[in-house]
Amino acid sequence: QVQLQESGPGLVKPSETLSLTCTVSGDSISNYYWIWIRQPPGKGLEWIGYVYFSGGTNYNPSLKSRVSISVDKSKNQFSLELTSVTAADTAVYFCARSGSTSSLLGYNWFDPWGQGTLVTVSS
């Protein structure tokens, strides 16, 4: 059974870069879409972006200028970088996998999810 685990610093200073890694176990990173989602404290969910196992990416337009997602198949990991962070980027960050290998993203979903990691932006 595939499992995902986020890792990275829990505290980032304003204007710096937030970097997180998601380690995939129980299966290889292949044929699926690998996704980042975040949830500010007490608020709803926001899709950040995804990377396909071959390296193709797509980002939320609201974050596109600051975000980068990459995949490292040799380590079975994918990563998130978010630059120039502010307090508004404080959130629990989740990694997830697409539920299906289908390239018809309108018919896809998120399953499974990692447990999430809280990142606080503060000096």
Partner 1 sequence: QSVLTQPPSASGTPGQRVTISCSGSSSTMGRNTVNWYRQLSGTAPKVLIYRNDQRSSGVPDRFSGSKSGTSASLAISGLQSEDEAYYYCAAWDDSLNGWVFGGGTKLTVL
Instruction: In whole angstroms, give the CA distance from residue 97 to residue 5.
Output: 11
Q: Is 73 or 99 the residue whose CB approaches partner 1 more closely?
A: 99
**Is residue 115 part of the contact set for partner 1 (CB under 8 A)?**
yes
How many residues line the site for partner 1 (CB under 8 A)?
24
**Is residue 113 part of the contact set for partner 1 (CB under 8 A)?**
yes
- The footprint of partner 1 on residues 62-101 (CB under 8 A) is 94, 99
**Is residue 5 part of the contact set for partner 1 (CB under 8 A)?**
no
Residue with tokens 């018809």: 104
Applying CB under 8 A, among 58, 68, 76, 83 the residue interacting with partner 1 is 58
Q: Give the DSSP per-residue string, 3-48.
A: EEEEES-SEE-TTS-EEEEEEEESS-S-SSEEEEEEE-TTS--EEE
Applying CB under 8 A, among 47, 53, 66, 70 the residue interacting with partner 1 is 47
CA 19 to chain CA mean position, Å: 10
Torsion 114-58-107-104 (CA) sign: negative
Q: Which residues bind partner 1 (CB under 8 A)?
A: 35, 44-47, 49, 58-61, 94, 99, 105-116
